[in-house]
Amino acid sequence: MFEIFQERMRKRMAQLVVMPCGWGEFLGTSLAFGGASIPDYDGKASFAPAGLDFTEDLKAAKWAVLDADPLHDLRFLAAVTATRRTTAPPLPGVRGFAEVLRDQLAELPGTGDLAAELAARDLELPFVAAMRQIRESPVVSQAIRQALEPAGQEKVRTTLARAIVAATCREVLLREHAVLPLHGDTRKRFVELVQHGLGGGQLGVWDDVADFGARVAKRLGGWALERWRVPFTDGSQPAMGDIVRYLTRGDDLRAAIAGVVEAADDDVVLVGHSLGGVASLDLMLIGSLPAVRTLVTVGSQGPLLFELDALPGLAVGADLPAGLPPWFNYYDRKDVLSYLAAPIFPGWAVDVEVDNEEGMPTAHSAYFDNNKFYDSLAGVIDGGTEP
């Protein structure tokens, strides 16, 4: 995620020096007793849940369906076309659509832009595994066979491309127990590259396929939480554990961030995501860091912790210290882990709303695949005001 952040910012402001503060490996938490405190936990879960989105945002819900079942829309497409007559055999010497498409599937990712993008994100192995799943599915074969006219064939290509991208993300979950930060503009880019590799080029024809499934997904909350209780614990424990540890013993994390600031030049814009934003906010409140000219928090829980009188750096009712730098707080209404700062810190914080076009849990990290976020942040760094 840091590499994505660095690349996007340097494209906008080539003179920037972007310095990371990767604290998770040496300050993150783990289950010291193997999860013995968690009911029905056996530690055998193989992956965190993809998650279902229960908002009214249908666009995000469609991808939530694919997160849960990458082949869902191909199943739907095969089912709604199963009653149609099959296409006539191709003329002698003419290869039919199904044969051509299967060859194109076998040749992915090829050697072009798709292969380069996969290599840049270390996604070659998950992509190969996803392609194997897609090619071996009887549902895929049925959906391909039922495509009779050009519009139907384009719909199959688009649906296949989205299934392949969703299956790749799911493979990362299975292999690394982590949600792949692939959404927004970047996910759209991958779908387009896969679709191009399958001989297609028209986006947007898929939308009518998944509406039914997306609406069903919004009703499955109880089932999902019951089915995925153990893997849900696996996926959420590191973040929850890190927050609890920070609130109890946060000096070392604050010291790590301060060390990076002190190693930089005097003109520092400090950008912190989630708990990193909480710790960065605390640094501003607890000690003097004159090198920091602007504080930026992204998806931050700092305002809520302060309202609960649980923020280590400042008690409710206490005066703000003098000399605080301007603070820009980015939030997304669908990111339930982001909170408003301006009503809690009037006169200091400026809230900046962005729409990552995602539901939870991906909305919490999707800022870093949202070009509008980078455009806004470049304005903050360049002029100190959000454009």
Q: What is the CATH number of the domain that holds 252?
A: 3.40.50.1820
51 inside domain? no
Average pLDDT value for the chain = 75
Q: 251 and 311, same structural domain?
A: yes
160 inside domain? yes
Task: Give me the residues paired with residue 292 across strands.
Answer: 268
Range of the domain at 314: 2-28+235-383
Return phi, psi of residue 95, to 5°. Answer: -80, 130
253 inside domain? yes
Dist. CA 39–CA 59, nearest whole Å: 35
Cβ proximity of 18 and 368 under 8 Å: no
Task: Give me the residues paired with residue 331 across strands.
Answer: 353
Burial 90-115 (b: 16+ CB within 10 A, else e): eeeeeeebbeebeebbeebbeeeebb
Q: 145 and 166, same structural domain?
A: yes
Q: 214 and 363, same structural domain?
A: no
Q: 86 and 129, same structural domain?
A: yes
Q: Is 91 helix (H, G, I), strand (E, B) or coil?
A: coil
Q: 300 and 186, same structural domain?
A: no
Q: 179 and 246, same structural domain?
A: no
158, pLDDT greater than 90: no
Going by pLDDT thresholds of 50, 70 and 90, the confidence category of residue 201 is low
Q: Summarize the confidence of residues 16-26 as an average pLDDT.
A: 76
Percent above pLDDT 70 for the chain: 71
CA gyration radius, the chain: 24
Closest CA to 101 of 167, 142, 153: 153
Dist. CA 242–CA 31, nearest whole Å: 11
CA distances 266 to 12, 37, 165, 260, 263, Å, are 21, 46, 42, 12, 9
223 inside domain? yes
Q: Summarize the confidence of residues 104-119 as an average pLDDT.
A: 83
Please tell me the total number of residues recorded for the chain in this structure. Answer: 387
285, pLDDT greater than 80: yes
157 inside domain? yes
Dist. CA 221–CA 219, nearest whole Å: 6
Q: Domain boundary at 175, 207, 227, which? A: 227
pLDDT tens-digit series, residues 32-78: 555 555 445 555 444 444 444 444 455 666 777 787 788 888 877 77
7, pLDDT greater than 50: yes
How big is the CA angle at 254 (ends 250 and 256), to the nearest 5 degrees?
120
Q: 284 and 145, same structural domain?
A: no
Cβ proximity of 156 and 101 under 8 Å: yes
What is the tally of structural domains in the chain? Answer: 2
9 inside domain? yes
Q: Summarize the confidence of residues 85-99 as an average pLDDT.
A: 59
Contacts of range 32-40, beta carbons closer than 8 Å, 24 or more positions apart: 35/233, 35/237, 38/233, 40/229, 40/230
Q: Domain boundary at 227, 243, 269, which? A: 227
Q: 155 and 22, same structural domain?
A: no
Q: 180 and 100, same structural domain?
A: yes
Q: 168 and 73, same structural domain?
A: yes
Q: Summarize the confidence of residues 97-111 as an average pLDDT.
A: 79
Q: 273 and 213, same structural domain?
A: no
Per-residue pLDDT, 329: 93
365 inside domain? yes
Tracing tokens 């910012």 back to the chain, one arrives at 9
Q: 113 and 67, same structural domain?
A: yes
Q: Domain boundary at 194, 227, 260, which? A: 227
Going by pLDDT thresholds of 50, 70 and 90, the confidence category of residue 298 is very high
375, pLDDT greater than 60: yes
Tracing tokens 């990076």 back to the chain, one arrives at 260
387, pLDDT greater than 80: no
Going by pLDDT thresholds of 50, 70 and 90, the confidence category of residue 383 is confident
Q: pTM of this prediction?
A: 0.56
114 inside domain? yes
Upper half-sphere CA count for residue 365 (Cβ side, 13 Å) = 14
227, pLDDT greater than 80: no
Burial of 44 (0-12, 13-18, 19+ CB in 10 A): exposed
